[in-house]
């Protein structure tokens, strides 16, 4: 899901050129700064850009491509499910660091995706089947989350048994006071 190349056609050269002019004509030869520059850079002609300028004009044939790309995005979570099932099967139900990490990953990814749902929708904006794709994406993520919960359940991490709440049971209050013993 690479974002389209933004920014202007005239990009800067290198990261360190924040303070540098976009372009400059060097007239004086005795400048110290230019001397150091000259060692690294080649002096380009005016109007020359280092990076190729992308063709920004939209063509009619790209519409299908966009559609396809959007379906890719929407079906992404569903495609991951078989993979997840395999990992689940492989990692087993013992509680140790790796299965726990797997489960965390499995649970966290769908949740993260659901959180950034609006961003995904923006992405799908250009598609004609935006709503269907959105629904598929949502279902895929929900299925992923459900799978993670199922894994937690089979690992015994969910407090679904009465034994999980045992520690919270307060000792009952006694209603009678009783004491006594052998006759001294």
Residues that bind other proteins (CB under 8 A): 16, 156, 161-164, 166-167, 169-184
- Rounded least distance, CB 96 to other proteins, Å: 16
Task: State the minimum distance, in angstroms, from the CB of residue 156 to other proteins.
Answer: 7
- Minimum gap (Å) between residue 162 Cβ and other proteins: 5
Q: How far is the CB of 24 from other proteins (least distance, A)?
A: 18
Nearer to other proteins, 54 or 172 (CB): 172
Residue 4 or 180: the one with the smaller Cβ distance to other proteins is 180
**Closer to other proteins by Cβ: residue 29 or 183:** 183
Report the sign of the C-alpha dihedral through residues 134, 137, 142, 145, in that order.
negative
Coil, strand or helix at 42: coil
Query: Residue 7, by phi and psi: left (phi above 0), alpha (psi -120 to 50) or beta?
Result: left
3-state secondary structure of 116: coil
Residue 158: closest CA among 95, 105, 98: 95
């Amino acid at each position: 899901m690479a974002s389209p190349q933004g920014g202007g056609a005239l990009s800067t050269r290198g990261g360190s050129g924040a303070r540098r002019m976009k372009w400059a004509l060097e007239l004086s030869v005795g400048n110290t700064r230019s001397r150091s520059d000259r060692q690294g850079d080649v002096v380009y002609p005016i109007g020359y850009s280092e990076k190729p300028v992308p063709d920004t004009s939209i063509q009619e044939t790209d519409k299908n491509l966009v559609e396809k790309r959007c379906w890719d995005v929407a079906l992404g979570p569903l495609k991951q499910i078989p993979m997840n099932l395999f990992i689940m099967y492989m990692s087993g139900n013992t509680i140790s660091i790796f299965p726990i990490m797997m489960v965390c990953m499995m649970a966290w990814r769908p949740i993260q995706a659901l959180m950034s749902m609006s961003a995904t929708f923006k992405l799908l904006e250009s598609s004609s089947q935006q709503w269907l794709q959105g629904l598929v994406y949502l279902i895929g993520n929900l299925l992923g989350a459900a799978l993670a919960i199922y894994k937690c359940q089979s690992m015994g991490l969910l407090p679904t048994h009465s034994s999980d709440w045992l520690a919270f049971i307060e000792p009952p209050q006694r209603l009678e006071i009783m004491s006594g013993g052998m006759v001294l």
